[in-house]
Amino acid sequence: MSAHHPHDELLVSYAAGTLPETASVIVATHLALCPACRKSVSRAECIGEALIQDIAPVRMEALALDSTLARLDEEQPSTTVAPPVPSGDPLLPRPLRDLVPQGLQALKWKTLGGGFRYAALKADGAGRLGLLEGQPGKATPHHGHHGDEFTLVLSGGYTDELGAFARGDLQCGDSTLMHRQVVDAGAACLCLVLTRGGIRPSHPVLRLLARFLPF
Amino acid sequence: MTLADPSTLTPAEMTARLVAVGRERDKAAFAELFSYYAPRIKAYLIRHGAGASQADEVAQEAFITVWRKAAMFDPAKASAGTWIFAIARNLRIDSIRRGRRPEFDPNDPAFVPDPEAQPDDTLEAEQMRARITDAVNQLPPDQAEVIKLSFFEDKPHSEIAAKLALPLGTVKSRLRMAMRRIRSTIEASS
């Protein structure tokens, strides 16, 4: 059971269907691992229903019901099949796995130095979504952020000033978060990361180099 | 086909209609659900920027999906209205926003299932819906406003904040307060 969860406003936006796709992917992947947040989302969906009950209805076109009834016996399109789980990879939950259909090894990884590598997955209005992997015992430089940063642990774990994070935990940081993430000893740590605005290392030289980071 | 006036059906009766659609492929029950919910879904889609005829088409499409998926509807987990709302929301994202709705898959090997007994499991989906509806109707106006805008405007909270001329932090804290209030209403009465 995860110990770190998305804020309510993120779960409400997911239930309302107003998040950009990258943010929805990270929330839905957390939901696959977190029964407690699934419950919050279903409560938020009840709110959506309560609001829709209150809305002034708009009359449907005259033949709408008849033409819908006439289509009920049409053949159903076949449903999509989940991509297979590549052997050797940590188990990526859907919907994330749909973005990595060929498995982790087929992604284009960029080495960041210091024992970290990054693979970009998707970008939109919410930010850039990618996978970040750190080797056991390695640490990121102490850094802040120019915008929101969401980190979902998929395997292994890390510790920073705010606590310990393991599979299923989602860390929601904003521009006030300053931290140094240390990967747990023993196993590599794989995280799904959504960043907006890039990172801001505390060290001035690293701050210059941060311009060349892929996120 | 003679139909009951759907506006006189209680939410529990709506849920019974949806179960009948799923189990018995009951077209009369389907028509009742359509008559009540389709005009509301159409209004919801128009609020999200659809034109009237597109909203009509998407609302019809939502009901084709209701028909196809009704066998999977579980009345222990959701009321009919909540379940239909989720279908309409997903189709809105597909057809109006031209995006994709990423969702978890309960049949996925990586999916972590619900623990067996949960404290408010005994609270039936219908009771849950009724209590949440009451709680929403009793929210202070400033909290109700941000909740409404969150569901009816396809905008990030930063834009909702700009629209209301409020700091983003205020919008977020009103939303959190509203959710806390709703949660405590559910917990106090269970």
Q: What is the CATH number of the domain that holds A63?
A: 1.10.10.1320
pLDDT tens digit sequence for A48-101: 988 888 889 999 999 999 999 999 988 777 666 767 776 677 789 999 999 998
A191 contact partners, CB below 8 Å, separation of at least 6 = A131, A132, A133, A134, A151, A152, A153, A154, A158
Task: Tell me the H-state helices in chain A.
Answer: 8-16, 21-33, 35-54, 64-71, 96-99, 204-209
B103 touches chain A (CB under 8 A): yes
Q: Return the CATH number of the domain spanning residue range B125-189.
A: 1.10.10.10
In this structure, is residue A83 part of a structural domain? no
ipTM of the complex: 0.89
The DSSP output letter for B122 is T
Q: Which domain range does residue A113 map to?
A: 102-212
In angstroms, rounded to a whole number, what is the distance separating the alpha carbons of residues B7 and B17? 13
Q: Is the pLDDT of residue B4 over 60?
A: no
What is the per-residue pLDDT for A85? 72
Of A1, A65, A82, which is closest to B108 when you measure between CB atoms?
A82
What is the percent of chain A where pLDDT is above 90? 56
Lowest mean pLDDT among A80-84, A132-136, A147-151, B103-107: A80-84
Select from A7, A13, A93 the Cβ nearest to the Cβ of B104. A93
Give the model confidence (pLDDT) of A165-211 as tens digits.
999 999 998 888 889 999 999 999 999 999 987 777 777 767 766 76
Query: Is A13 within the bounds of a domain?
Result: yes
Residue B136 to residue A85, Cβ atoms within 8 A: no
**Nearest CA distance, B130 vs chain A (angstrom):** 9
Is the pLDDT confidence value at A133 over 80? yes
* A122 and A180, same domain (yes or no): yes
Q: List the one residue out of B146, B100, B89 whose CA is nearest residue A42.
A: B89
Q: Which whole-number Å values give the CA distances from A63 to A66, A85, A176, B42, B45, in the listed order?
A: 5, 46, 56, 15, 19
Model pLDDT, residue A135: 96
Do the beta carbons of residue A182 and residue A159 sit within 8 Å? yes
Q: How many Å lie between the alpha carbon of A99 and the closest alpha carbon of chain B?
A: 10
Q: How many Cβ atoms sit within 10 Å of the Cβ of residue A182?
A: 17
Selected from 3.30.450.20, 1.10.1740.10, 3.30.9.10, 2.30.110.10, the CATH number assigned to the domain covering B6-95 reads 1.10.1740.10
Residues B116-135 have pLDDT tens digits of: 766 555 567 888 888 899 99
**Among A residues 151-190, those touching chain B with beta carbons less than 8 Å apart:** 168
Residue B35 has pLDDT above 90, yes or no: yes
